[in-house]
């Protein structure tokens, strides 16, 4: 599914994946991965046939994201006989994951991405919202990046490895041999994956920041925008539009032209006053929307949206916490993100 947001396009990569277990200690059972130094070679040979266009995945399982392969594994009350956990059951979640279970601790994901010729000249970014756990990403046989945490989202620029006008083979290898928590952590691409198409000049992921200060005249609103220029030196402007929950624009700002050096980043700062703002509260969680547009030659080449609330916060050592001047008791729970039947997904 493609969701055009002005010049930027976001493509959800939740369908069409193939999945197969690998092996954490035997390359012969792990599609040859790690058998040689080719894993990180610049030649486009990642050292595994899984990354090749001709690889046959007919025997692989078809899955959609989010996906957690651990939830389908059998329960194991204790570790293998003779292991440190053969009587204590000290491994996580009572699932056969970890160093003692190499045959079920590595999972391979593979998808074929047809990219149009129009992608030539655009920046192509892959965004992963959550992968458990150690993940290596390969595109068209090239190793493009890794992420070790099962909880932090990450982004990879695949522009230099993509082939516009052709089918592109995207592969992810996940290894949960080492965990991060004492509890069940799942395994695999358990959150969304997206392909983002942008212009060379674009807003960095999470690059728009809004800071508000509420006073007698209204809410002083400061907007910081981090621009990325993955191309030649360019003159650009930032147009920021703040809208309320009904979609009505309450502020529009246009920055002075700024010169972006080639292959550089730059942060712009804008400020406005929002009169009579609707404050965010527990009873009325009103959110404003910041639409950020990047203009080159007066034409919008990229845009992004950021949602934010306007409110005041105050802590008093004797009286506690105040939201918008009203006392509020902060209550919460610690809930793990796993659920019976679906695991992390």
What integer pLDDT is reported at residue 97 of this predicted model? 87
Q: Looking at the structure, tell me whether residues 188 and 258 fall in a common domain.
A: no
Domain boundary among 175, 198, 221: 198
Determine the pLDDT at residue 179.
Answer: 81
Q: Which residues of 272-304 are buried (b: 16+ CB within 10 A; e: fewer)?
A: bebeebbbbeeeeeeebebbbbbbbeeeebbbb
Token duo for residue 200:
């060379």
The mean per-residue pLDDT over the stretch 234-240 comes to 97
Same-domain check for residues 33 and 179: yes
Same domain, 137 and 253: no
Domain boundary among the residues 183, 198, 213 is at 198
CB 174 within 8 A of CB 106: yes
Region of poorest pLDDT, from 32-41, 228-237, 273-282:
32-41
Residues 169 and 121: beta-carbon distance below 8 Å: no
Distances 76 to 105, 145, 166, 186, 340 between C-alpha atoms, Å:
14, 33, 45, 15, 16
pTM: 0.88
Which letter does DSSP use for residue 34 in this model? Answer: T
Domain hosting 257: range is 201-313
In this structure, are 21 and 128 located in the same domain?
Answer: yes
Cα dihedral 177, 179, 184, 187 sign: negative
Check the CA dihedral 150-154-160-164 and report its sign.
positive
Query: Nearest CA to 238 among 274, 275, 209, 263?
Result: 209
Q: State the CATH number of the domain containing residue 208.
A: 2.60.40.10
pLDDT band at 47 (very low <50, low <70, confident <90, very high): confident
pLDDT band, residue 340 (cuts 50/70/90): confident
Residues 153 and 301 in one domain: no
Q: Which has more pLDDT, 283 or 84? A: 283
Q: Are 186 and 132 in contact (CB under 8 A)?
A: yes
Confidence label for 38 from pLDDT (cuts 50, 70 and 90): low
| 240 and 172 in a common domain | no
pLDDT digits (tens, 9 = 90+) for 92-136: 567 888 888 899 999 999 999 999 999 998 999 999 999 998 999
Residue 155 domain flag: yes
At residue 105, the pLDDT reads: 93
pLDDT at 336: 81
When comparing pLDDT for 3 and 204, which is higher? Answer: 204
- Return phi, psi of residue 54, to 5°: -85, 0
pLDDT of residue 75: 82
Residue 142 and residue 102 in one domain:
yes
- The answer to whether the beta carbons of residues 130 and 153 sit under 8 Å apart is yes
Residue 318 lies in a domain: no
The 10s digit of each residue's pLDDT in 288-315 is 999 999 999 999 999 999 999 999 999 9
Are 174 and 134 in a shared domain? yes
Per-residue confidence (pLDDT) for residue 5, from 0 to 100: 41
In a domain, 338, yes or no: no
Say whether both 79 and 96 belong to one domain: yes
343 located within any domain: no
Report if residue 342 sits inside a domain.
no
| Pair 156, 254 in one domain | no
Q: What is the pLDDT of residue 275?
A: 95
Q: CATH number, domain at 166? A: 2.60.120.260
Name the percent of the chain lying above pLDDT 90: 74
- Percent of the chain at pLDDT exceeding 70: 91
| CB atoms inside a 10 Å sphere around CB 270 | 18
The pLDDT of residue 94 = 76
Q: How far apart are CA 227 and CA 207, in angstroms?
A: 7
pLDDT at 37 over 80: no
Q: Which residues pair with 85 in a beta bridge?
A: none
* 339 within some domain: no
In a domain, 341, yes or no: no
In this structure, are 119 and 213 located in the same domain? no
Alpha-carbon distance of 195 to 313, in angstroms, equals 37
Mean pLDDT of 224-245: 96
Question: Number of folded domains in the chain?
Answer: 2
Is 119 strand, coil or helix? helix
Do 56 and 180 share a domain, yes or no? yes
Which tens digit of pLDDT belongs to each residue from 152-200? 999 999 999 999 999 999 999 999 998 887 778 889 999 999 999 999 9
Tell me whether residue 345 is in a domain. Answer: no
Tokens of 36: 């040689």
């Amino acid at each position: 599914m493609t969701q055009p947001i002005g010049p930027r396009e976001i493509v959800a990569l939740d369908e069409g994946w193939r999945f197969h277990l690998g092996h954490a200690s035997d390359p012969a059972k792990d599609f040859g991965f790690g058998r040689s130094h080719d894993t990180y070679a610049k030649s486009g040979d990642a050292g595994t046939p899984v990354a090749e266009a001709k690889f046959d995945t007919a025997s692989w399982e078809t899955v959609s994201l989010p996906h957690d392969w651990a939830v389908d594994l059998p329960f194991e009350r204790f570790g293998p006989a003779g292991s440190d956990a053969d009587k204590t059951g000290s491994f996580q979640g009572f699932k056969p994951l970890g160093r003692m279970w190499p045959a079920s601790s590595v999972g391979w994901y593979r998808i074929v991405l047809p990219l149009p010729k129009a992608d030539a000249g655009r920046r192509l970014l892959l965004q992963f919202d959550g992968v458990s756990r150690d993940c290596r990403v390969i595109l068209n046989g090239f190793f493009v990046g890794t992420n070790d945490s099962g909880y932090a989202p990450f982004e990879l620029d695949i522009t230099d490895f993509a082939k516009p006008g052709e089918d592109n083979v995207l592969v992810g290898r996940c290894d949960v041999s080492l965990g991060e928590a004492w509890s069940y952590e799942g395994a695999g691409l358990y959150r969304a994956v997206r392909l983002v198409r942008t212009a060379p000049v674009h807003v960095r992921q999470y690059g728009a920041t809004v800071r508000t200060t509420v006073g007698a005249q209204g809410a002083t609103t400061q907007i910081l925008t981090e621009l990325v220029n993955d191309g030649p030196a360019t003159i650009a402007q930032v147009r920021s539009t703040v809208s309320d929950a009904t979609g009505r624009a309450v502020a529009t700002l246009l920055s002075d032209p700024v010169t972006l050096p080639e292959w550089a980043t730059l942060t712009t700062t804008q400020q406005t006053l929002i009169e009579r703002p609707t404050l965010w509260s527990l009873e009325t969680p009103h959110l404003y929307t910041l639409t950020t547009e990047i203009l080159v030659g007066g034409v919008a080449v990229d845009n992004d949206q950021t949602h934010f609330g306007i409110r005041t916060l105050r802590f008093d050592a004797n009286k506690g916490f105040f939201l918008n001047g009203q006392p509020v008791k902060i209550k919460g729970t610690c809930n793990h993100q796993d659920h019976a039947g679906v695991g992390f997904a």
